[in-house]
Structure 1
Amino acid sequence: MTDLDPAAARLDAALQRLEAALEAHLLRSGNPAALRAEIDALCADRANLAEALDQSLAREQELQSLADEASLALGAAIDEVRAALGPGD
């Protein structure tokens, strides 16, 4: 056994750890083109959801406005019915 054998063994072990770490990284990151496509799809989905949310909020405001109008009209109708019935007991 030479003086270089322990150094060679440490180098071999370090290279094995490096290979394992690189393989794990590649497994986590996957195919860059596929990841880019997935990110693009997520961005498109986000844009579509944001647009749908904006439309829903606009529709909610429109419906709230109609509900307010209906409430005022109903209040006026109730006042008219009360006035037509005369003073209460």
Structure 2
Amino acid sequence: METDDDEQGRLICLLLEMNPSVLLMIVFLVFLTIVSNRAFYVTDLREEILKMRQTELSGSGTWEDIPKSLEREYQTFSSDQR
């Protein structure tokens, strides 16, 4: 019965027997894939940060709105107490 280690060993032997240029090309393609995936992740992260900043600048749901709403509630409360 074959195990995963046997299959991985066969794969490593096959890769070592290959032409070095093919092996180098495979390594380069794997490297490019990893780098491009990280670049897409960083781009998505930048877009999310820009969206968050735009919503803050538009005044919807920012920390500056909380004191204003509390002040309005206090004014209505104090006018009700009179």
What TM-score, normalized by structure 1, do the two folds share? Answer: 0.53
Pairing 1:15–2:73 present: no
Deviations 1:4-35 (A, max 9, x none): 1111110000011011101100110018xx82
State the Cα distance separating 1:60 from its structure 2 match.
Answer: 2.0
Higher relative contact order (CA 8 A, sep 6+): 2
State the Cα distance separating 1:45 from its structure 2 match.
Answer: 2.0
Structure 1: unaligned runs, 5 residues or longer: 63-89
User: What is the count of residue pairs matched by the alignment?
Assistant: 59
2:42 alignment partner AA? L
Which residue matches 1:87?
Answer: none
- Work out the CA distance in 1 between the residues paired with 2:35 and 2:64: 41
What TM-score, normalized by structure 2, do the two folds share? Answer: 0.57
Identity of aligned residues (%): 10
Which residue matches 1:35?
Answer: 53
